[in-house]
Amino acid sequence: MSAAQLELKSVEKVFGDSVAVHPTDLEVHDGEFLSIIGPSGCGKTTTLRMIAGLESPSAGRISFEGKDITTVPPHRREFGMVFQKFALFPHMDVAANIAYGLKLRKVSKREISARVDEMLERVGLTAFKHRNVTTLSGGQQQRVGIARALITKPRVVLLDEPTGALDAKLQLAMQSQLKQLQRDLGLTFIHVTHNQSEALAIADRVVVMNVGSIEQVGRPEEVFERPQTRHVAEFVGRNNILVGTVSSDGSTFSCALGELPLATPWPAGPATAVLRADAISVRPREGYPHRAEVELQALEYTGARVSWFTSAGGSDITVDVSTRATQSVAPELGNRYPIWLRPGELHLIDDHLTR
Ligand SMILES: Nc1ncnc2c1ncn2[C@@H]1O[C@H](COP(=O)(O)OP(=O)(O)OP(=O)(O)O)[C@@H](O)[C@H]1O
């Protein structure tokens, strides 16, 4: 991947006596789709607003293409912005809303008309060109918002919960449309969401934040399969956190599911491991040599998958299996069942709670 296009160096934001964003380093590459995720109040929006110039950092430096832009006002950064609340001009029609940024830049009428038509086509709103925006559905309004942000061809587009106000089906449609636009136009998108599945689906890299700090940055599959901290494991996907002890030779981990061999050695002593709920089977399975027993406490049916909420040795263990596998076992609450797991799926994390 190319060198950083946008760089945050020790960027911090303090409101009064509370720290919203601790000193943070982040590099964003030209043409990438970066998603920032994390629970409410973790500092996602504040980070995005500092990048936009809507909030000035209390300390640190933001640079764009090698130039320090920390004190450059938002309109001079010329980044596109898309927010959850569409903030469209209610007295204007769709075309006028989209054309707004070009008019400000004194682009010729003929060019504005051509670019607006092309953008309407891209976002699938050609038929709505002369409709007043207040008569559009939420999804259509959001597409106007996106078109308006992209029409000026910004190098970087900042999106804060762009699908947050849409229903589940529209969210999915909008996600693939955003990804498509970003790819086609070759733009850098920095996107904030509390919706981890949206981030995993559309981002090239995901940034996971917690209480004002970045905990992990990686490709979606890295963050999903190898969460590096307890918070990332709890926030992304469905993971079991197992507290236990690594043997004196560093080769096994003793926990509520028994004595599990470790794929890579770990320092002896108390430790925390992560095991994905979907890396456990309720039937004997090739490649799942380790057997343990759990007591079934609840089942949650979600269509193709069923989550088994169980306990073993005082620990809660969630098992996520296909509905078909569940039907073959015909589970009953309160009974004990064998499970099988692949120790290779277990990985240890640096967890200050057990250190
Ligand atoms: N203008 C402000 N004045 C004081 N505190 C603020 C201000 N803006 C944000 N904060 C605080 O900073 C912290 C981070 O807020 P931020 O909006 O960045 O979180 P977030 O991760 O985007 O949350 P959400 O998903 O709920 O939007 C919160 O504790 C918030 O209350």
Please name the residue whose Cα sits nearest to atom 30 of ligand 1: 41
Q: For residue 84, what is the domain's CATH number? A: 3.40.50.300
Same domain, 221 and 243: no
Assign residue 322 the CATH number of its domain: 2.40.50.100
Regarding whether 212 and 285 lie in a shared domain, the answer is: no
Say if 207 falls within a structural domain.
yes
Mean pLDDT of 107-132: 93
The last residue of a domain, from among 173, 192, 225: 225
For residues 115 and 252, state if they share a domain.
Answer: no
Does residue 85 carry a pLDDT above 90? no
Beta-bridged to residue 253, according to DSSP, are 246, 260
Output the CA torsion sign for 269, 271, 275, 277. Answer: positive
CB-count exposure of residue 201 (10 Å: 0-12, 13-18, 19+) = middle
Range of the domain at 126: 4-225
**Does position 142 have pLDDT exceeding 90, yes or no?**
no
Pocket test for ligand 1, best of 37, 44, 159, 191 (most atoms within 8 A of CB): 44
Distance, CA of 70 to CA of 58 (rounded, Å): 10
- Identity of the amino acid at 52: A
Domain boundary among 203, 225, 247: 225
Does residue 233 lie within any of the structural domains?
Answer: no
pTM: 0.88
Cα(30) to ligand 1 centroid in Å equals: 27
Nearest to 232 by CA among 33, 241, 204: 241
Distance in Å, CA 25 to ligand 1 centroid? 19
Residues 143 and 101 in one domain: yes
- Nearest residue to 9 via CA among 262, 214, 272: 214
Asked if 212 and 343 sit in the same domain, the reply is no
Determine the pLDDT at residue 162.
Answer: 86
User: What pLDDT, on the 0 to 100 scale, is given for residue 353?
Assistant: 55
C-alpha 289/C-alpha 53 separation (Å) is 54
Mean pLDDT of 88-109: 92
Q: Mark which of 198, 225, 252 sits at the end of a domain.
A: 225
231 in a domain, yes or no? no
Structural domains of the chain, count: 2
Please tell me if the CB atom of residue 194 comes closer than 6 angstroms to any atom of ligand 1: yes
ipTM: 0.94
Please determine, for residue 352, whether its predicted confidence score (pLDDT) is greater than 70.
no
- pLDDT band at residue 253 under the 50/70/90 scheme: very high
Highest mean pLDDT of the ranges 8-22, 150-164, 341-355: 8-22
If one counts every other C-beta atom within 10 angstroms of the C-beta of residue 190, the result is 24
Q: So what's the pLDDT on residue 2? A: 53
For residue 15 and ligand 1, the question of a CB distance below 6 A is answered with yes
CA of 42 to the centre of ligand 1 (A): 7
Phi/psi of residue 219, each to 5°?
A: -65, 155
Strand partners, 206: 35, 218
